[in-house]
C-alpha cells in the first residue's frame, strides 16, 4: 500500500512539474496533453494528428502545447524562426532517422545542418529551376504527361481510375529524372505497375510510429532485440527497393540525371541507393496524391467555372511557356494549399539556451513545429474562406506577400523540399495536357472516399480510388 502512495505522489509531482513549474505551462493547450504525451500518441497512431492539432489552433490560437515537451506554431514569425532564419540552430529531431534506407542516411534523414549541407551540395544543381526547365528534362516529363492522358482518354466517356494513373505518372517522372534510361515505365508496362502499387497502397503509419517511439524511449540494444522477436519493422516496397539498389551500382545512366552526380561523388552504393530511394518515394507520393486531389476538385460541379477558366486560358495560349500561364499557376498553387500532400508537422528541436518563438519562451530541447494544413487555413485575413478552393486568390496583388509567406506545401528554408520545381513542372504539364483538349467530371459510380488519410508524413485519399470521366472539348 505504501508503494502505491509513493507511486501516486510521484505521478502527481510529475503532473505538477509539467503543468505548473515548466516554462511551457504558460502556453495554451489542453491540460491532459501538457501532462502526458499519451494524448498526442493516441492521435498519431489513429491517423488524426494533423486534424487534432488544427482544431487546437482554432481553439487556442497560433501557439499551442500539444505534449509535455512539444509545441505547435502557426504563424509566419514562427516559420521564419524555425525554418528560414540563417544560423537559428533548430536541428531536426530523431523522427527523421526513420527515413534512412539500406541502413544508410539520405539528405532528408540527416539531423544536423553540416551533413545535410554536404549531401545537398552534391546534387542540388539537378533540382534548380533553371536546370529543371532545360529541354531534356521538360521533354521527358512532357512525354510522360502525354502518355498518361492518352491512357486516361482511351475510352472517352467511360470512368477511369486516375488515382492509379497519376501515381504511375509520378513514379515514372521522378525515376526518369533520377536514373534515365533505367527508370520505371509503370504507365505502359503492367509488370512495372506493381512497383507503383506497392508504394501507393502501402499503409505503414502504425509501424512507423512504433519504430519512432521504440528508438526514442528504449536503448538501442533492447530495440534490436524487440525488432528481432516482437516488433515488425516497417516494410519497404521490395520491387522498387531492389530496382533502386541495383541501379545504384550502374554507371550507364544519362548525364542529366541525379544518379550521374551521385556517382561522381564516389559514395558507397548503399548511400547512393538511400538517396535515390528517398527521392523516388517522396516524388511519387507528393505528385500522385496532389494531382489526384486537385483533379477530383476540378471535376466537381462546384468547380465547373474554374475548370472552364483554365480551359479558356490554355486555348488562348497554346504555345505559351508553361510558366507564362497565370491561371494554371494559380490552380496548382491553390490545389497545394487546400490539398497539400505533406500537411503534417515538420519537427525541429530548440537549441541550447532556449529561444523566444512568437513571443513565447521555449526551453532547450523542446520539440517545435509548424504544419502546412494549419498555416494554409488559420489566418483568415490572409486566406479568407480558407476551406474553399479559390484559385483567383493567387491572382490578387493585395496580400500576395502574406499568402506566399504562409504557403508551406514544400516546407521553407534551406531544408525545404528540394524537388519543388520538378513537382510543379510535372503538375502543370499534366494539367495542361488534360484540360487543353478535355473536360473532366466525377463518374456517377464513384463512391470511394476522397477524405484525407494521413500516413507518416504524407496524406492520400482514403478510398485510394478516384473515378473520373474525360470528355472531348
- Pair 186, 196: CB distance under 8 Å: yes
- Between 211 and 429, the more confident residue is 429
Position 313 in a domain = yes
Determine the pLDDT at residue 98: 84
The helix (H) or strand (E) run that includes residue 469 is strand 467-472
7: pLDDT strictly greater than 80: no
Position 360 in a domain = yes
Position 445 in a domain = yes
Determine the pLDDT at residue 388: 98
162: pLDDT strictly greater than 70: yes
Position 11 in a domain = no
Cα separation, 408 vs 390, in Å, equals 17
Position 21 in a domain = no
Position 42 in a domain = no
Confidence at 85, pLDDT banded by 50, 70, 90: confident
Cα separation, 152 vs 158, in Å, equals 9
**Digit-coded pLDDT (tens) for 237-253:** 888 989 999 999 999 99
Say if residue 373 is preceded by a cis peptide, omega within 30 of 0.
no
19: pLDDT strictly greater than 80: no
- Pair 383, 337: CB distance under 8 Å: yes
CA angle 348, 451, 435 (to 5 degrees): 100
Determine the pLDDT at residue 210: 82
Determine the pLDDT at residue 426: 98
Position 128 in a domain = yes
**Digit-coded pLDDT (tens) for 88-108:** 689 999 889 888 899 899 999
How many folded domains does the chain comprise?
1
Position 320 in a domain = yes
Instruction: Please report, for the domain that includes residue 426, its CATH number.
Output: 1.10.630.10
Domain with 375 in it: 69-202+237-472
Amino acid at each position: 500500500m505504501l508503494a502505491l502512495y509513493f507511486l501516486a505522489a510521484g505521478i502527481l509531482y510529475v503532473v505538477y512539474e509539467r503543468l505548473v513549474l515548466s516554462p511551457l505551462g504558460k502556453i495554451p493547450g489542453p491540460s491532459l496533453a501538457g501532462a502526458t504525451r499519451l494524448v498526442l500518441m493516441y492521435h498519431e497512431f489513429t491517423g488524426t494528428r494533423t486534424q487534432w492539432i488544427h482544431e487546437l489552433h482554432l481553439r487556442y490560437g497560433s501557439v499551442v502545447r500539444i505534449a509535455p515537451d512539444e509545441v505547435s506554431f502557426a504563424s509566419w514569425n514562427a516559420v521564419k524562426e524555425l525554418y528560414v532564419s540563417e544560423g537559428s540552430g533548430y536541428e531536426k529531431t530523431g523522427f527523421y532517422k526513420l527515413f534512412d534506407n539500406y541502413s544508410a542516411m539520405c539528405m532528408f534523414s540527416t539531423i544536423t545542418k553540416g551533413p545535410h549541407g554536404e549531401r545537398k551540395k552534391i546534387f542540388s544543381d539537378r533540382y534548380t529551376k533553371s536546370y529543371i526547365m532545360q529541354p531534356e528534362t521538360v521533354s521527358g516529363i512532357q512525354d510522360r504527361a502525354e502518355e498518361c492522358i492518352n491512357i486516361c482518354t482511351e475510352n472517352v466517356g467511360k470512368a477511369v481510375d486516375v488515382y492509379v494513373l497519376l501515381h504511375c505518372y509520378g513514379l515514372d517522372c521522378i525515376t526518369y529524372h533520377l536514373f534515365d534510361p533505367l527508370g520505371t515505365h509503370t504507365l505502359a508496362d503492367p509488370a512495372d505497375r506493381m512497383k507503383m502499387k506497392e508504394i501507393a497502397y502501402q499503409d505503414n503509419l502504425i509501424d512507423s510510429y512504433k519504430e519512432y517511439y521504440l528508438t526514442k524511449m528504449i536503448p538501442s540494444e533492447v530495440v534490436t532485440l524487440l525488432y528481432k522477436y516482437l516488433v515488425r519493422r516497417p516494410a519497404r516496397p521490395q520491387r522498387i527497393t531492389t530496382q533502386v539498389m541495383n541501379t545504384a551500382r550502374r554507371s550507364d545512366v544519362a548525364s542529366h540525371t541525379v544518379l550521374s552526380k551521385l556517382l561522381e561523388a564516389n559514395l558507397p552504393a548503399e548511400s547512393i541507393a538511400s538517396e535515390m530511394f528517398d527521392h523516388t518515394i517522396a516524388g511519387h507520393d507528393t505528385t500522385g496524391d496532389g494531382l489526384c486531389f486537385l483533379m477530383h476538385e476540378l471535376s466537381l460541379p462546384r468547380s465547373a467555372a474554374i475548370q472552364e477558366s483554365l480551359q479558356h486560358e490554355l486555348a488562348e495560349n497554346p504555345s505559351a511557356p508553361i510558366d507564362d500561364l497565370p491561371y494554371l499557376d494559380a490552380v496548382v498553387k491553390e490545389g497545394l494549399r487546400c490539398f497539400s500532400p505533406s500537411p503534417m508537422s515538420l519537427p525541429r528541436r530548440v537549441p541550447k539556451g532556449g529561444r523566444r518563438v512568437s513571443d513565447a519562451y521555449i526551453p532547450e530541447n523542446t520539440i517545435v513545429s509548424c504544419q502546412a494544413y494549419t498555416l494554409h487555413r488559420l489566418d483568415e485575413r490572409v486566406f479568407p474562406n480558407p476551406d474553399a478552393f479559390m484559385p483567383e486568390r493567387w491572382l490578387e496583388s493585395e496580400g500576395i506577400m502574406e499568402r506566399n509567406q504562409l504557403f508551406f506545401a514544400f516546407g521553407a528554408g534551406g531544408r525545404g523540399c528540394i524537388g519543388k520545381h520538378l513537382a510543379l513542372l510535372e503538375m502543370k504539364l499534366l494539367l495542361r495536357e488534360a484540360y487543353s483538349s478535355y473536360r473532366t467530371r466525377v463518374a456517377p459510380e464513384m463512391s470511394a472516399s476522397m477524405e484525407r488519410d494521413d500516413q507518416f508524413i504524407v496524406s492520400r485519399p482514403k478510398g485510394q480510388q478516384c473515378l473520373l470521366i474525360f470528355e472531348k472539348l
